[in-house]
């Protein structure tokens, strides 16, 4: 099971490295624009062409490569969760179970400390209530990561636009010069930032909707209905779909927010422990 968790981390890291190459290319083009404007204005046309070519490469080949690596991580993550939770495998979503196991077993992955305590302070309650608690913890971390990353992306986007406008004003550029020497080279970075911010905002909202589904199950339990494995499988399907289609948050952002997110998740675990300890209404 730990091998599945480690394999998940490796696949996600590979996808993140590809994404970092995409981002680095866009950032370098954005930084070169003001430098060339000051020291070599004649090279701005060539930079604009390079920016367009990089945009095409990043949105085709690199996007496909990154997407495939990410989906590998999602499938391995699903194998880890379903094994830990003792939930049935949904082949219609995740593909054949034998292939997921084959991917993980094809090589040995080194485990690290965080692979051992992925879910923290889960309430001591009967199955499948403990499964729902782990799923809730996952959703809390994911939602908070997406929200925080949106704020970071918004700040970077604002600073970039203001810096470009300031430079254009200081250099007294014409509209044509602004377009060729600043707007075109900055376009890959600005598109990347704005698209990422939009997708992470949508991801956070989707996580909230899934949390509301968990709240509905808890309310039904309080009214006398037992939580079933089928209920948890339905929530897990939602988690899989969101992992597969939502943009990932960089691991550095995740690691930096881990203590805050863990505190919020643990507080929720304590609330769930108390809730599960209360007998349902007759």
pLDDT classification of 176: cutoffs 50, 70, 90: confident
Cα dist. 157→58, 99, 100, 104, 270 in Å? 19, 41, 39, 39, 38
Identify the burial level of 135 via C-beta atoms within 10 angstroms of its C-beta, where 0-12 means exposed, 13-18 middle and 19 or more buried. Answer: buried
Nearest to 183 by CA among 48, 56, 91: 48
Instruction: Round to the nearest angstrom and report the end-to-end CA distance of the chain.
Output: 39
The verdict on pTM exceeding 0.85 is no
Nearest to 203 by CA among 123, 280, 147: 147
Instruction: Please list, in sequence order, all residues whose beta carbon lies within 8 angstroms of the beta carbon of residue 11, skipping any fewer than 6 positions away.
Output: 69, 70, 72, 73, 76
pLDDT classification of 44: cutoffs 50, 70, 90: low
Q: Which of 100-104, 111-115, 145-149, 169-173 has the highest mean pLDDT?
A: 145-149
pLDDT classification of 35: cutoffs 50, 70, 90: low
Per residue in 46-104, pLDDT (tens digit) is: 766 777 777 777 778 888 888 899 999 999 999 999 999 999 999 999 999 998 899 88
CA dihedral 121, 123, 125, 127 (to 10 degrees): -70
Q: How far, in Å, CA of 15 to CA of 125, rounded?
A: 36
Per-domain residue ranges for the chain?
2-277
Per residue in 112-141, pLDDT (tens digit) is: 766 667 788 888 899 999 999 999 999 999
Per residue in 207-257, pLDDT (tens digit) is: 999 999 999 999 999 888 989 999 999 999 999 999 999 988 988 898 899
Phi-psi region of 121 (alpha: psi -120 to 50; beta: other; left: phi over 0): left
Q: How far, in Å, CA of 123 to CA of 169, rounded?
A: 59
Q: How far, in Å, CA of 192 to CA of 188, rounded?
A: 6
Phi-psi region of 248 (alpha: psi -120 to 50; beta: other; left: phi over 0): beta
Provide the 10 A C-beta neighbour count for residue 29. Answer: 22
Alpha helix ranges (H) inside the chain: 2-39, 44-57, 63-85, 91-94, 97-105, 113-116, 129-170, 175-178, 184-222, 229-245, 251-277
Model pLDDT, residue 217: 93
């Amino acid at each position: 099971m730990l091998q599945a968790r480690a394999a998940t981390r490796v696949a996600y890291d590979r996808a993140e490295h590809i994404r970092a190459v995409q981002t680095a290319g866009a950032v370098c083009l954005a930084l070169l624009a003001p430098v060339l404007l000051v020291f070599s204005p004649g090279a701005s046309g060539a930079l604009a062409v390079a920016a367009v070519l990089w945009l095409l490469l990043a949105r085709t080949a690199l996007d496909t490569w990154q997407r495939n690596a990410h989906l590998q991580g999602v499938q391995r993550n699903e194998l880890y969760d379903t094994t830990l939770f003792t939930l049935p495998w949904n082949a219609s979503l995740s593909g054949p179970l034998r292939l997921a196991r084959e991917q993980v077993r094809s090589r040995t992955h080194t485990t690290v400390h965080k692979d051992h305590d992925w879910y923290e302070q889960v309430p001591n309650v009967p199955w499948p209530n403990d499964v729902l608690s782990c799923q809730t913890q996952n959703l809390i971390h994911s939602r908070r990561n997406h929200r925080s990353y949106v704020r970071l992306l918004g700040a970077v986007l604002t600073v970039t636009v203001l810096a470009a406008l300031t430079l254009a004003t200081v250099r007294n550029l014409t509209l044509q010069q602004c377009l060729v020497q600043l707007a075109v080279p900055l376009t890959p970075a600005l598109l990347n930032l704005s698209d990422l911010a939009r997708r992470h905002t949508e991801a956070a909202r989707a996580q909230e909707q899934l949390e509301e589904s968990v709240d509905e199950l808890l309310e039904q339990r309080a009214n006398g209905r037992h939580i079933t494995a089928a209920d948890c499988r339905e929530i897990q399907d939602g988690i899989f779909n969101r992992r597969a289609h939502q943009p990932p948050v960089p691991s550095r952002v995740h690691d930096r927010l881990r203590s805050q997110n863990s505190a919020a998740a643990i507080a929720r675990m304590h609330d769930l422990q108390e809730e599960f300890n209360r007998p349902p209404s007759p």
